[in-house]
């Protein structure tokens, strides 16, 4: 247990107090003074010294430390100081804080200027930094705990009820579910429900489940009603009969469908089609044969035409040879021979006209020639002349026969040429005829359609096609009839199937109703289980509440705490209300009782935190009898006659006597 006592508290220019020393020597004291004498200021000074705050928890920035004059103006230039001597487990610690204005004189200026405030800190007279000072205080006591332990009103008047409840819970320690179950009756079953959930969560879960189930339960009759209303009327329907009917109808339909397939396959039409195909290929063959026949014929005639042309050309060359012989050989030869013959005739006449001429004298000696000699010369001359003429005659006859031969040859050539010309004309005519024939054949080869055979086949073809069309027409008519029958059967099947589905629907509906009824039973069972769980949970909570309250209240002598409040719906709500002899702190509790309850709380908390601190009891005059406390007590007592604060130490002997 750490014990902190205040041995002395010196104030200088702190708020309204100019200079005062509270000297307790660590004992309980009573400070007397009229209203406004400065009692509370003492507590403010102590708080400021430790935590920079006044006794109400206001920070130094928001409350005036600095002394004001009668007009309420700050008196400048003062040193505000508090010095406290603490006895911590009999060891003394002096704390001092000085707060003052800082004035600086600027160079060259006679006037000082305000430059803010400064606080100086001292531990056992040694100046220290703020951080060091605060750290030391923090070692001694936590600020929140200090507030709880020094001011009896703090716990009940300053803290939020949740804070109070939290502190109480800390003080008494938690109660385990096992403890609760052991304390209550019939709570054993809860063990399994709770598992690792809190009882509150468990309750919420149960409540929401219950709500959900309830909603579902409400819906079930509505659903059953809906299903019932939707059930079809099947009074006159028999499932087996309908199924048998459908079976029969389907068999009939199948038979009809087979018939349709047969019609579609169409035997006669197929046969006709086959024939039609055959005719078609025959027609094609006719066409092919026709043209190939003509091709042969044309080739034959073309061959003839070619040989006629050959003949013609052969004749032409023979004619050409003969003409060349006639004009190039025979005729020029005749001419040459006739020219020679003319020359011979002229020569003959020339020889024939020759007369014997003689000279009478010798040319050489110019003597007259003898007669005989002249006669002899005459005879000689005549013989030579006739010889010459004879020779010309022979030659002339020879030439004449040659010319006659040549003329014969010429005649012969002319006749030959004429004959050949005629022959040539014949071949020319043949060639023309062949040409014409080829032309004609070519024309004919094109018009295969004109052949009788072709025409007959074509007629067959058209007739067959017509027949097929006729058959097809009939077929579709009969298929339509069967289709119509199938359609009617289908409708009948459909109508029966509808009836069947009505029965099914009815059966399903019945099953659904059964299901809903089962569900309802199940839900009702679950609901009642939840009800029981909820009851147990509430029992648990009540038991826990009772345990908790008695456990907490056992720790206090006078104070009593109400930790739960029963709401209108019977549920418990957490709260934290302090009572004294059944009277709530907040409403009508008198001042004395408030102080004593506060002291009772401080007693318990001091023990819990292992720390005691000086308790400042403001308005102590209202309490005639304070309860016993282990901490140092500083009573602040209103006393009208004391205009100045007056301190009375508690008689040591008296205290010890009590």
Token pair recorded at residue 362: 């010798």
Q: Residue 35, interface with ligand ADP (CB under 6 A)?
A: yes
The CA distances from residue 302 to 293, 433, 437, 478, 566, in Å, are: 14, 11, 9, 62, 137
Q: Which stretch binds Mg ion (CB under 5 A): 31-39, 317-325, 336-344, 555-563?
A: 31-39
The C-alpha atoms of residue 169 and residue 552 are separated, in whole angstroms, by: 8
Compute the least distance from the CB of residue 654 to ligand ADP, in Å.
Answer: 25
First vs last Cα of the chain: how many Å apart? 23
Q: Which does 496 bind (CB under 5 to 8 A by kind): ligand ADP, Mg ion, none?
A: none
Give the contacts of 613 (CB within 8 A, at least 6 positions apart). Answer: 4, 141, 146, 149, 150, 606, 631, 632
Give the phi and the psi of residue 169 in degrees, each rounded to 5: -65, -40
Compute the least distance from the CB of residue 123 to ligand ADP, in Å.
Answer: 26
Compute the least distance from the CB of residue 583 to Mg ion, in Å.
Answer: 25
Whichever of 38 and 509 has its CB closer to ligand ADP, that residue is 38
Task: Report the residue from 37, 85, 141, 599 that binds ligand ADP according to the rule CB under 6 A.
Answer: 37
- Tell me the three state secondary structure of residue 454: helix
- At residue 74's C-alpha, the angle toward residues 72 and 78, to 5°, is 140
Q: Residue 16, interface with ligand ADP (CB under 6 A)?
A: yes
Q: Which does 33 bind (CB under 5 to 8 A by kind): ligand ADP, Mg ion, none?
A: ligand ADP
Compute the least distance from the CB of residue 639 to Mg ion, in Å.
Answer: 12
Compute the least distance from the CB of residue 205 to ligand ADP, in Å.
Answer: 55
What is the residue-wise DSSP string for 369-384? PPHHHHHHHHHHHHHH
Compute the least distance from the CB of residue 194 to ligand ADP, in Å.
Answer: 54
Compute the least distance from the CB of residue 22 to ligand ADP, in Å.
Answer: 13
Task: Report the residue from 26, 38, 177, 614 that binds ligand ADP according to the rule CB under 6 A.
Answer: 38
The H or E element containing residue 634 is: strand 633-638
Q: What is the 3-state secondary structure (H, E, C) of 107-134?
A: CCCCCEEEEEEEEEEEECCEEECHHHHH
Q: Residue 39, interface with ligand ADP (CB under 6 A)?
A: yes
Whichever of 432 and 640 has its CB closer to Mg ion, that residue is 640
Compute the least distance from the CB of residue 57 to ligand ADP, in Å.
Answer: 16
Compute the least distance from the CB of residue 598 to ligand ADP, in Å.
Answer: 18
Compute the least distance from the CB of residue 588 to ligand ADP, in Å.
Answer: 25
Could you tell me whether strands 2-14 and 611-612 are parallel, antiparallel, or unpaired per DSSP bridges? parallel
Sign of CA dihedral 431, 433, 438, 443: positive
Compute the least distance from the CB of residue 155 to ligand ADP, in Å.
Answer: 21
Q: Residue 267, interface with ligand ADP (CB under 6 A)?
A: no
- Tell me the three state secondary structure of residue 186: coil
Task: Report the residue from 40, 156, 272, 578 that binds ligand ADP according to the rule CB under 6 A.
Answer: 40
Q: Which stretch binds Mg ion (CB under 5 A): 36-44, 47-55, 167-175, 235-243?
A: 36-44
Q: Residue 598, interface with ligand ADP (CB under 6 A)?
A: no
Whichever of 123 and 153 has its CB closer to ligand ADP, that residue is 153
The C-alpha atoms of residue 391 and residue 414 are separated, in whole angstroms, by: 35
E strand residue ranges, 40-181: 79-88, 91-105, 112-123, 126-128
Q: Which does 68 bind (CB under 5 to 8 A by kind): Mg ion, ligand ADP, none?
A: ligand ADP
The C-alpha atoms of residue 103 and residue 87 are separated, in whole angstroms, by: 36
E strand residue ranges, 455-547: none
Whichever of 84 and 509 has its CB closer to ligand ADP, that residue is 84
What is the C-alpha radius of gyration for the chain, rounded to an integer number of angstroms? 83
Name the β-bridge partners of 518. Answer: none
Whichever of 6 and 536 has its CB closer to ligand ADP, that residue is 6
Task: Report the residue from 6, 7, 32, 33 that binds ligand ADP according to the rule CB under 6 A.
Answer: 33
Whichever of 47 and 537 has its CB closer to ligand ADP, that residue is 47
Whichever of 13 and 40 has its CB closer to Mg ion, that residue is 40
Q: Which does 152 bind (CB under 5 to 8 A by kind): ligand ADP, Mg ion, none?
A: none
Whichever of 140 and 638 has its CB closer to ligand ADP, that residue is 638
Q: Residue 15, interface with ligand ADP (CB under 6 A)?
A: yes
Which residue pairs from 577-586 have beta carbons closer than 8 angstroms and sit at least 24 positions apart in sequence? 577/161, 578/155, 578/156, 578/164, 585/156, 586/156
Compute the least distance from the CB of residue 549 to ligand ADP, in Å.
Answer: 37
Q: Residue 40, interface with Mg ion (CB under 5 A)?
A: yes
The C-alpha atoms of residue 498 and residue 505 are separated, in whole angstroms, by: 10
Q: Which does 15 bind (CB under 5 to 8 A by kind): Mg ion, ligand ADP, none?
A: ligand ADP
Token pair recorded at residue 398: 């020879």
Q: What is the 3-state secondary structure (H, E, C) of 432-448?
A: HHHHHHHHHHHHHHHCH
Tell me which residue has tokens 């401080």. Answer: 602
Tell me which residue has tokens 């405030």. Answer: 117
Q: Which residue is nearest to ligand ADP (CB)?
A: 16
Whichever of 279 and 645 has its CB closer to ligand ADP, that residue is 645
Instruction: State the binding string over 64-83 for ligand ADP (x if CB under 6 A, else -).
Output: x-xxx---------------
Q: Which does 41 bind (CB under 5 to 8 A by kind): ligand ADP, Mg ion, none?
A: ligand ADP
Whichever of 45 and 95 has its CB closer to Mg ion, that residue is 45
Q: Which does 67 bind (CB under 5 to 8 A by kind): ligand ADP, Mg ion, none?
A: ligand ADP
The C-alpha atoms of residue 510 and residue 79 are separated, in whole angstroms, by: 98
Whichever of 525 and 643 has its CB closer to ligand ADP, that residue is 643
Whichever of 52 and 54 has its CB closer to Mg ion, that residue is 54
The H or E element containing residue 648 is: strand 646-649
Token pair recorded at residue 607: 């023990």
The C-alpha atoms of residue 362 and residue 507 are separated, in whole angstroms, by: 190
Q: Which stretch binds Mg ion (CB under 5 A): 35-43, 106-114, 228-236, 535-543?
A: 35-43
CB 267 within 8 A of CB 403: no
Q: CA nearest 97: which of 9, 221, 185?
A: 9
Whichever of 66 and 136 has its CB closer to ligand ADP, that residue is 66
Name the β-bridge partners of 276. Answer: none
Q: Which stretch binds ligand ADP (CB under 6 A): 60-68, 349-357, 477-485, 561-569?
A: 60-68
Q: Which does 26 bind (CB under 5 to 8 A by kind): ligand ADP, Mg ion, none?
A: none
Binding site for ligand ADP (CB under 6 A): 15-16, 33, 35-41, 64, 66-68
Binding site for Mg ion (CB under 5 A): 39-40
């Amino acid at each position: 247990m750490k014990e902190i006592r205040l041995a002395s508290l010196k104030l200088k220019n702190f708020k309204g107090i100019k200079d005062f020393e509270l000297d307790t020597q660590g004992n309980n004291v009573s400070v007397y003074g009229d209203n406004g004498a400065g009692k509370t200021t003492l507590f403010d000074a102590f708080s400021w010294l430790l935590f920079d705050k006044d006794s109400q928890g206001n920070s130094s920035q928001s409350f005036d430390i600095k002394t004001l004059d009668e007009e309420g103006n700050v008196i400048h230039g003062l040193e505000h100081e508090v010095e406290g001597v603490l006895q911590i487990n009999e060891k003394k610690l002096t704390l001092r804080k000085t707060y003052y204005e800082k004035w600086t004189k600027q160079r060259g200026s006679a006037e000082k200027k305000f430059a803010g405030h400064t606080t100086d800190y001292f531990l056992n007279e040694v100046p220290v930094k703020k951080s060091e000072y605060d750290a030391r205080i923090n070692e001694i006591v936590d600020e929140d705990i200090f507030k709880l332990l020094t001011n009896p009103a703090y716990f009940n008047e300053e803290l939020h009820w949740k804070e109070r409840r939290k502190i109480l819970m800390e003080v008494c320690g938690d109660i385990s579910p096992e403890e609760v179950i052991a304390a209550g009756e019939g709570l054993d079953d809860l063990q399994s429900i709770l598992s690792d959930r809190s009882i509150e969560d468990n309750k919420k879960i149960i409540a929401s489940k219950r709500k959900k189930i309830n909603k579902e339960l409400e819906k079930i009759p509505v659903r059953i009603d809906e299903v019932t209303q939707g059930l079809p009327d099947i009074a006159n329907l028999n499932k087996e009969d309908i199924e048998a009917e459908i079976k029969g109808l389907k068999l009939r339909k199948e038979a009809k469908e087979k018939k349709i397939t047969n019609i579609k396959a169409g035997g006669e039409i197929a046969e006709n089609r086959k024939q039609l195909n055959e005719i078609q290929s025959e027609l094609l063959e006719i066409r092919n044969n026709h043209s190939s026949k003509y091709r042969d014929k044309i080739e034959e005639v073309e061959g003839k035409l070619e040989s006629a042309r050959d003949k013609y050309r052969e004749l032409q060359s023979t004619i050409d040879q003969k003409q060349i012989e006639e004009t190039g050989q025979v005729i020029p030869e005749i001419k040459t021979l006739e020219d020679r013959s003319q020359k011979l005739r002229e020569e003959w006449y020339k020889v024939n006209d020759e007369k014997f001429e003689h000279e009478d004298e010798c040319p050489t000696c110019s003597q007259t020639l003898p007669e005989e000699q002249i006669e002899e010369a005459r005879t000689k001359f005549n013989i030579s002349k006739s010889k010459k003429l004879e020779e010309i005659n022979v030659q002339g006859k020879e030439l004449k026969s040659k010319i006659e031969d040549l003329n014969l040859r010429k005649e012969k050539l002319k006749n030959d040429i004429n004959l050949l010309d005629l022959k040539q004309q014949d071949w020319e005519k043949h060639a023309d005829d062949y040409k014409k024939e080829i032309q004609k054949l070519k024309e004919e080869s094109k018009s295969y359609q004109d052949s009788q055979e072709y025409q007959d086949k074509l007629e067959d073809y058209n007739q067959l096609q017509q027949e097929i069309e006729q058959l097809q027409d009939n077929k579709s008519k009969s298929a339509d009839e069967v289709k119509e029958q199938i359609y009617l059967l289908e409708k009948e099947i459909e109508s029966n199937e509808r009836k069947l589905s009505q029965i099914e629907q009815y059966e399903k509906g019945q099953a659904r109703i059964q299901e809903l009824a089962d569900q309802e039973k199940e839900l009702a069972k679950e609901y009642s289980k939840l009800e029981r769980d909820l009851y147990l949970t509430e029992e648990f909570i009540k038991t826990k509440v009772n345990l908790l309250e008695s456990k907490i209240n056992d720790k206090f002598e006078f104070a009593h705490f109400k930790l739960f409040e029963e709401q209108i719906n019977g549920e418990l709500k957490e709260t934290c209300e302090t009572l004294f002899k059944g009277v709530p702190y907040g409403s009508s509790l008198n001042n004395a009782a408030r102080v004593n309850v506060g002291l009772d709380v401080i007693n318990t908390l001091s023990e819990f935190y292992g720390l005691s601190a000086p308790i400042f009891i403001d308005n102590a005059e209202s309490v005639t009898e304070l309860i016993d406390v282990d901490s140092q007590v500083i009573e602040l007592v209103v006393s009208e006659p004391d205009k100045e604060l007056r301190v009375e130490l508690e008689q040591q002997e008296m205290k010890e006597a009590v």
